[in-house]
Amino acid sequence: MGSASHSQPNGVPAIPGAAIPRQGGDSSAVHGPAIRVEELFRHYRMGETVIRAVDGVSLAVRAGEFVALLGSSGSGKSSVLNLIAGLDRPTSGSVIVHERNLAQLSREELAQYRLHTVGMVFQSFNLIASMTVAENVELPMRFAEVERGRRASLAQEALTRVGLQARMNHRPSELSGGEQQRAALARALINRPQLLLADEPTGNLDSRTGTEIMNMVREFNQQLGMTVVMVTHERALAERYAARMIFLADGKVVSEETNAGTVAIPAGREQRQEQQ
């Protein structure tokens, strides 16, 4: 597959081939759960008070599935996402991603997991103000020790993918909120992660720009078979994009619903994409 970008019917550029080959991935994982969370607890102590941020959560996410975690502030949804991302360690229980138990990984192994397996998009964009957009997108490749000349071409390809080819040399402060989130998406996907974790990705955007961002996330899910877990408090957003909704309250899973109107990713889609 070439690197040229072709427009989809909804205006989102088509996704070219993988920017960087996946490392440590197992294509057979497409036949089973990408994520298994088993009896997960994350408790914090604040003085004499124990905060039960995650309190016995168990769930599974299939490879290529788009799942939304919903709940009010303090429900535990972002804490669960941080544990899946390897940004925090559980008090007890397991987070198993493609048959690797994150609780058993060393600090160095967790860093490699976050670099090669997970892409994250946050509500606050988290772009480095002193860097250009292209330099921000290149940053994960610098950590992955990708050769400098290749980094530049791959960053250009990624930014073209999200419609920011004309803004590559701008600073984040010179971009709109939607453009900053597009840049954050390009950075999250530059190492071709197997999982895309999105924490309130439209929270700082107007409704039109938020729809553009979510259409891109859906394209990545459908074209690459990328597993997506999104945290949101907006049920309407989850119903429009996620195949399944998991509701949390007080650190526990309280219910789950399937969205009949969303399109599931056929098993093997990820393998077909990698062969193109």
d(CA 179, CA 250): 35
Burial of 199 by CB count in 10 Å (0-12 exposed, 13-18 middle, 19+ buried)?
buried
Query: Which residue in this structure is represented by tokens 């996907």?
Result: 189
Q: Is the pLDDT of residue 222 over 50?
A: yes
Q: Which helix (H) or strand (E) holds 36?
A: strand 33-46
Q: Is the pLDDT of residue 194 over 60?
A: yes
Q: Which two tokens stand for residue 65?
A: 């599935």
Angle of the 177-189 helix axis to the 207-224 helix axis, nearest 10: 20
Q: Which residue has the higher pLDDT, 222 or 266?
A: 222
DSSP character for 167?
Answer: G
Query: Are 248 and 73 spatial neighbours (Cβ–Cβ below 8 Å)?
Result: no
Please report the beta strands in 176-243, taking only residues with DSSP state E, as ranges in sequence order.
195-199, 227-232
Instruction: Supply the pTM of this predicted model.
Output: 0.79
| pLDDT 10s digits, 68-115 | 999 999 999 999 999 999 999 999 999 999 999 999 999 989 988 988
Query: Which residue in this structure is represented by tokens 């453009």?
Result: 179
Q: Report pLDDT for 37.
A: 97
Q: How far is CA 200 from the centre of its chain?
A: 11
Sheet holding 100-101, edge to edge: 49-62, 33-46, 92-97, 100-101
Q: Is the pLDDT of residue 63 over 50?
A: yes
Specify the range with the lowest mean pLDDT, choosing from 14-18, 31-35, 49-53, 231-235: 14-18
User: Following DSSP, what letter does each residue of 58-104 receive, concatenated?
Assistant: EEEEETT-EEEEE--TTSSHHHHHHHHTTSS--SEEEEEETTEEGGG
Query: Which residue in this structure is represented by tokens 């394209």?
Result: 219
CA distances from 102 to 56, 82, 84, 92 (A): 17, 12, 8, 12
| pLDDT 10s digits, 126-167 | 899 999 999 999 988 887 778 887 888 888 888 988 889 899
d(CA 184, CA 102): 25
d(CA 11, CA 14): 9
All domains of the chain in start order, with CATH? 30-117+194-205+213-238+255-276 (3.40.50.300), 126-192 (no CATH)
Q: Which two tokens stand for residue 166?
A: 């004309």
Query: Are 89 and 103 spatial neighbours (Cβ–Cβ below 8 Å)?
Result: yes
Query: Which residue in this structure is represented by tokens 């992955």?
Result: 144
Q: Which two tokens stand for residue 248?
A: 């949390």
